[in-house]
């Protein structure tokens, strides 16, 4: 099996009873531990209008995490580009990469990361911007280029600055785009299982080498809840199950403390919608999850796994990521 990088995707979830300040401190604590565990990168996701998610001001949190770490790559997984002006994003990430050289990633997605009404509040022409996603990416690439120095509209803090761009997606549309542009591709298989194999196949088949990348590079998302025993991991996973039920019922809430795994929770996991969303969720002891991860890598041949660990307590979350790092090192 080839060497597979491993990374973190963090929504900076707000646990019940925790302030936002504590939540942000926990995110930094997690990043610092995971840097010592050998993780390649730490990405933050952009979402809005959800009290559960603390990563709405994504670029600000990227700076906070980068300031408190030294070697970890820090970036967006992703910036939802139709919410923003490409010029402003180029300025923000050009600034970040000047402060933290060769450590900042710019992952770009097309979804709003929120509900329709909030998307309209963020940007009134959101749908138009979403439809012109490829052109919006091209604008960012232009702002980062040295050639743009002769343009009337410039992102002067971005010109010539090294910020790798990644295309994010949960459907086959993004696979075609990433392949055409010769950019690395991150698939959101941690919540969207349906198109995973097809999207990866399209990306690899259609990939056109570019100045940025000479061969395809696939990042795949997985949910992980790992503890010292299967029973403890199952207990910790009840927080994730409650969170998913909240999404489907429209009753989103703070991350709830875990409970003992019951037959009722097991039935919820069998529900078609829940099963679809949590298909690539690896829950159990290190040995249990190692087998699941090995099978997933044999299925996808991903170049990198980016792990989401939605666990109530930060210490349990750190432990989960520590065990996942051990798994990846052993498989490599």
Q: Which CATH number is 124's domain given?
A: 3.20.20.30
Compute the distance between CA of residue 322 and CA of residue 269 in angstroms, rounded to an integer.
25
Q: Per DSSP, what are the bridge partners of residue 255?
A: 15
SS3 sequence, 35-63?
HHHCCCEEEECCCCCCCCECCCCHHHHHH
DSSP secondary structure letters along 222-279: EEEEE-SSHHHHHHHHHHHHHHHHHHHHT---SBPPP----HHHHHHHHSHHHHHHTT
pLDDT given for residue 151 in this prediction: 97
Answer yes or no: are the C-beta atoms of 168 and 58 closer than 8 Å.
no
pLDDT given for residue 1 in this prediction: 55
**Average model confidence (pLDDT) for the chain?**
94
Answer yes or no: are the C-beta atoms of 179 and 129 closer than 8 Å.
no
pLDDT given for residue 250 in this prediction: 82
pLDDT given for residue 191 in this prediction: 82
Choose between 123 and 162: higher pLDDT. 162
pLDDT given for residue 192 in this prediction: 78
Out of 120-134, 224-238, 276-290, pick the least confident.
120-134
- For 111-119, the CB contacts below 8 A with 24+ separation are 111/80, 111/170, 112/48, 112/80, 112/82, 112/83, 113/45, 113/46, 113/47, 113/48, 113/80, 113/83, 114/47, 114/48, 114/49, 114/50, 115/49, 118/48, 118/49, 119/48, 119/82, 119/83
Parent domain of 261: 5-331
Neighbour-count burial for 97-132, b at 16+ CB within 10 Å, e otherwise: beebeebbbbbbbbbbbbeeebbeebbeebeebbee
Q: What is the pTM of this model?
A: 0.95
Please state the φ and ψ torsions of residue 7, each to the nearest 5 degrees: -145, 175
Answer yes or no: are the C-beta atoms of 207 and 179 closer than 8 Å.
yes
Residues 34-60: tens digit of each pLDDT: 999 999 999 999 999 989 999 999 999
Q: Per-residue confidence at 194, pLDDT binned at 50, 70, 90?
A: confident
- pLDDT higher than 80, residue 223: yes
Task: State how many domains the chain has.
Answer: 1
**Per the structure block, which two tokens stand in for 204?**
């690899």
**Per the structure block, which two tokens stand in for 323?**
């065990």
CA 285 to chain CA mean position, Å = 23
Q: Per-residue confidence at 93, pLDDT binned at 50, 70, 90?
A: very high
**What's the rounded mean pLDDT across residues 249-257?**
90
3-state helix, strand, coil in the chain (%, to 5): 50, 15, 35
Q: Per DSSP, what are the bridge partners of residue 9?
A: 43
Compute the distance between CA of residue 281 and CA of residue 238 in angstroms, rounded to an integer.
13
| Distance (Å) of CA 318 to CA 31, 35, 325 | 9, 11, 11
- pLDDT higher than 70, residue 245: yes
Residues 22-31: tens digit of each pLDDT: 999 999 999 9
- Which residue is associated with the tokens 């009873």? 17
**What's the rounded mean pLDDT across residues 137-153?**
97
**What's the rounded mean pLDDT across residues 191-213?**
93
pLDDT given for residue 263 in this prediction: 94
């Amino acid at each position: 099996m080839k060497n597979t990088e491993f990374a973190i995707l963090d929504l900076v979830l707000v646990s019940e009873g925790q302030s936002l300040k504590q939540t942000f401190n926990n995110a930094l604590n997690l990043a610092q531990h995971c840097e010592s565990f050998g993780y390649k990168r730490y990405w933050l996701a952009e979402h809005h209008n959800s009290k559960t998610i603390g990563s709405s001001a994504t670029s600000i949190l990227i700076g906070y995490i980068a300031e408190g770490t030294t070697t970890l790559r820090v970036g967006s997984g992703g910036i939802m580009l139709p919410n923003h002006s490409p010029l402003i994003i180029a300025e923000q990430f050009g600034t970040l990469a000047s402060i933290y050289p060769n450590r900042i990633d710019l992952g770009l997605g097309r979804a709003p990361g929120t509900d329709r009404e909030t998307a309209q509040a963020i940007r009134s022409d959101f749908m138009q911007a979403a439809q012109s996603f490829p052109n919006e990416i091209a604008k960012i690439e232009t702002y980062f280029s040295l050639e743009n120095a002769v343009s009337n509209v410039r992102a002067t803090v971005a010109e010539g600055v090294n910020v790798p761009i990644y295309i994010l997606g949960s459907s086959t549309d993004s696979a075609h785009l990433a392949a055409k542009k010769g950019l690395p591709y991150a698939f959101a298989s941690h919540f969207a299982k349906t198109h995973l194999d097809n999207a990866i196949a399209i990306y690899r088949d259609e990939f056109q080498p570019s100045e940025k990348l000479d061969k395809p590079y696939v990042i795949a998302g997985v949910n992980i809840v790992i503890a010292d025993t299967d029973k403890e991991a199952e207990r910790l996973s009840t927080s994730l199950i409650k969170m998913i039920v909240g999404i489907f019922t429209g009753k989103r809430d703070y991350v709830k403390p875990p409970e003992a795994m019951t037959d009722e929770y097991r039935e919820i996991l069998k529900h078609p919608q829940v099963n679809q969303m949590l298909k690539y969720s690896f829950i159990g002891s290190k040995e249990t999850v190692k087998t699941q991860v090995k099978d997933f890598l044999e299925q996808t041949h991903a170049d990198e796994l980016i792990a989401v660990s939605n666990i109530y307590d930060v210490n349990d979350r750190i432990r989960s990521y520590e065990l996942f790092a051990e798994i990846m090192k052993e498989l490599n």
